[in-house]
Amino acid sequence: MIELRTPAELDQMREAGRFVASVLDATSRAADVGVNLLELDALAHDMIRDRGAESCYIDYHPSFGGSPFGKVICTSVNDAALHGLPHDYTLRDGDLLTLDFAASVDGWVSDSAISLIVGTPREEDQRLIEVTKQALDAGIAAAVVGNRMGDVSAAIGEVARRARLKVNLDFGGHSVGREMHGDLHVPNDGRPRRGFPLQPGLVFAIEPWFMLGTKKIYTDDDGWTLRSDDGSRAAHFEHTVAVTEDGPVILSAA
C-alpha cells in the first residue's frame, strides 16, 4: 500500500534522514587507504547504538539475498554496483567506494547512498560519479506535484543516455516510510507522463546507479554483492525525497 505522509510525519522522517546523513558523512570521511570495510561497518554500528536507532539491514533477508545481510551498511567497491556486503577488505589507493545506508529512528526510515574515490581518483571514475550524481539531481527536480513517476524515471534515464551509459532496470528506487522498501518502484529509466501520480506527502528513495561498460550484473559468492558482468566500475547515489506543494524536499540531507 502506498501512503501519503502528513507534514508532521515528514518532520519526523526528517530526523531519521539527518541521522542517516550523519552516518554517511562519518563513514565517508573515515574511508581512506588502509581502512578495512569492516571498520566502516563497525563505525556505523556504533552510531546506530549511540543514537538508539535500528538497522534496516542487519536482519534483512529478501528473496534475492543469500542469507540475512548481517551488517549495517553496504560497502560496494569498484565493480560492486549494489548491496556490497562488508568483508575483510582493506581499501586501496584509487578504489571507487559506494556507501549505502538505511536506518529507522523512532519508527521512521530514511535511505541514502554516496559514491567516492579513496585516495587518487581516476578521471573516468570521477566522471562516472559526477554523472550519477547529476542523474539523482535530475530525478529529484522532477519529483513535483502534477508529474508522474515516469517523469522522475525519464529524467534519470536522460542523464544516463547523454553520458552513453546503459541503464539496468532490475533495481531502482522505492517508497519509504515505516519500512525501508515500500510498494512503489522507481525505475532509473522510463517514459514521461506514465506511472503513479506524484502527490503531496508521497515519500520515496531515488537511487540511480550506473556501470561504465554494461548493464548486466551477477551475484557474488557472498550471496549479496551485485557486480558488473564485465568488471567495469560502478557508482550509486540515493536520497529519500518527499513530494510537497512547495517542491521536492530531500529528507536524507544533513
The annotation status of 185 as a binding-site residue, yes or no, is no
Question: Are residues 184 and 49 in contact, defined by beta-carbon separation less than 8 angstroms?
Answer: no
The annotation status of 130 as a binding-site residue, yes or no, is no
The annotation status of 238 as a binding-site residue, yes or no, is yes
Task: Quote the crossing angle between the two packed helices 149-162 and 123-141, to the nearest 10°.
Answer: 160
Comparing CA positions, the residue from 86, 113, 94 lying closest to residue 102 is 113
The annotation status of 3 as a binding-site residue, yes or no, is no
The annotation status of 170 as a binding-site residue, yes or no, is no
Q: Which residue has the cell 525525497?
A: 241
| Residues placed in the known binding site | 83, 100, 111, 174, 181, 207, 238
| Residues placed in the known binding site for a divalent metal cation | 100, 111, 174, 207, 238
| Residues placed in the known binding site for substrate | 83, 181
